[in-house]
Amino acid sequence: MLALFYFAAAIALIATAMALTRANAAHGLIYLIVSLLAVAVVFFLLGAPFAAALEIVIYAGAIMVLFVFVIMMLNLGRSADEEERELLAPRYWLVPGVLAACLLVELAVISFAAPGHSAGIVVSPKAVGLSLYGPYVLAVEIASLLLLAGLVGAYHVGRRFIDRSGGNKS
């Protein structure tokens, strides 16, 4: 059981690393999909089959499809691969990598060497849900209105574009 867990987790880590380092966007995405599937297996092994199913249906099945969709629309060629390869040169990721590694060390220190060092009380997911839909429900509703406004705005922009190009009104 534990071996299976580590196996799936290792696949997730390797696939994510490969996704980050691919120059070709489509190849990177395929690795990302594999990584999401591995995370779904991890969820399943941890006794959360529902989360595993949602991981596949929503992330691997819908959101990643939209990513592939965008890549197809962009018509990336060999030149895009070359540009991407340049951006993967060490001088771009070395400093952010070192800074992120510092954070990782800090996280390890907090969790293993000196547990219980967080300031104040620990906030559980349930407490977050209760406060979001309790005292802060108005703020949540306003945020959702903002999203709706964004949706209507995007629709409006797209509509004007269709009208100008003539035809294909639906």
Partner 1 sequence: MSPLATALFGLAVLAGAVGLAAILTWFERRLLGVWQDRYGPNRLGPLGILQVVADMLKLLTKHDWVPPFADRVVFVFAPTAIVVAMLLGFAVVPFGEHLYLLDLNIGLLFFLGMTSLAVYSVLLGGLASNNKYALLGGLRSAAQMVSYEVFMGLSLMGVVMLTGSFSLRDIVLAQQDLWFCIPQVLGLYVFLVAGIAESHRLPFDLPEAEHELTAGFHTEYGGMKFAMFMLGEYLGLILICCMITTVFFGGWLGPWLPGPVWFALKTSLLICFFVLLRAAIPRPRYDQLMSLGWKYMLPLSLFNLVLTGAIALWLRGA
HSE-up of residue 69 (Cα within 13 Å, Cβ side): 6
Binding to partner 1 by residue 9, rule CB under 8 A?
no
Binding to partner 1 by residue 150, rule CB under 8 A?
no
**Which residue number, 61 or 97, has a Cβ lying nearer to partner 1?**
61
**Which residue number, 70 or 128, has a Cβ lying nearer to partner 1?**
70
Q: Give the shortest CB-146-to-partner 1 separation in angstroms.
A: 23
Residues 145, 122: Cα–Cα separation, whole Å = 30
H-only helix segments in the chain: 2-21, 25-45, 49-54, 64-74, 78-87, 90-108, 125-132, 137-165
Residues 77, 80: Cα–Cα separation, whole Å = 5
Q: Quick one: which of 10, 17, 69, 141 contacts partner 1 (CB under 8 A)?
A: 69
Q: Quick one: which of 12, 39, 42, 60 contacts partner 1 (CB under 8 A)?
A: 60
Binding segment (CB under 8 A) for partner 1, from list 22-30, 104-112, 118-126, 141-149: 22-30
Residues 66, 72: Cα–Cα separation, whole Å = 10
Amino acid letter for position 36 = L
The residues binding partner 1 (CB under 8 A) are 24, 26-27, 30, 33, 49-50, 52-54, 56-57, 60-62, 65-66, 68-69, 71-73, 168, 170
